[in-house]
Amino acid sequence: MTQAVRTTPPRTARRDLSARQAIVAACLAMTAIVLLDLIDSRLDLLYSVGFVLIVVTAPLAVGVRQMFATGVLPSVLLIASLLLVCLFQPSAIRVEGMAADAGTAARLIAATLDHGLTLVVGQVLALAVITLRILGDSRSAPRR
């Protein structure tokens, strides 16, 4: 018996996540980070470092054509996670100068301002990763 010779190369598994999958994974990871950081009833360094790592990893996980969602992700993820903390454990938001009886909106604004540097660092790094991925993809594409 002779074996059939394969003329086409085998298809490789696609390793990129869809934008939706990356966002769901980022939300789950952020939830885990927030829950771990709230063990001491305060958002600290773990929250900031975890946030930056999550928003930098998301653009690395998706295909180049689905980068838009990961570019918008940092600000939405930060505000959504802080909003949930404000709603479910408002005492974890401790900002100097904020009144003890501040409402949810005031706590959210104060927490967003308090974590502003974290947001800027995460957004800039995420956009840098997106830019490098797009440039790398355009250089590896065959030219006609």
Each residue of 49-60: pLDDT tens digit? Answer: 999 999 999 999
Q: Coil, helix or strand for 106? A: helix
| Contact indicator for 77, 85 with CB cutoff of 8 Å | no
HEC readout, 34-50: HHHHHHHCCCCHHHHHH
Sorting pLDDT into bands at 50, 70 and 90, what band is 7?
A: low
Higher model confidence: residue 9 or residue 118? 118
| Contact indicator for 85, 43 with CB cutoff of 8 Å | yes
The radius of gyration computed from the CA coordinates of the chain, to the nearest angstrom, equals: 21
In the predicted structure, residue 13 carries a pLDDT above the cut 50 = no
In the predicted structure, residue 26 carries a pLDDT above the cut 60 = yes
Confirm whether pTM is higher than 0.95.
no
Cα separation, 86 vs 38, in Å, equals 12
Each residue of 100-127: pLDDT tens digit? Answer: 888 889 899 999 999 999 999 999 999 9
What value does the mean pLDDT take over residues 81-102? 88
Cα separation, 55 vs 70, in Å, equals 7
Higher model confidence: residue 3 or residue 12? 3
Cα separation, 144 vs 137, in Å, equals 15
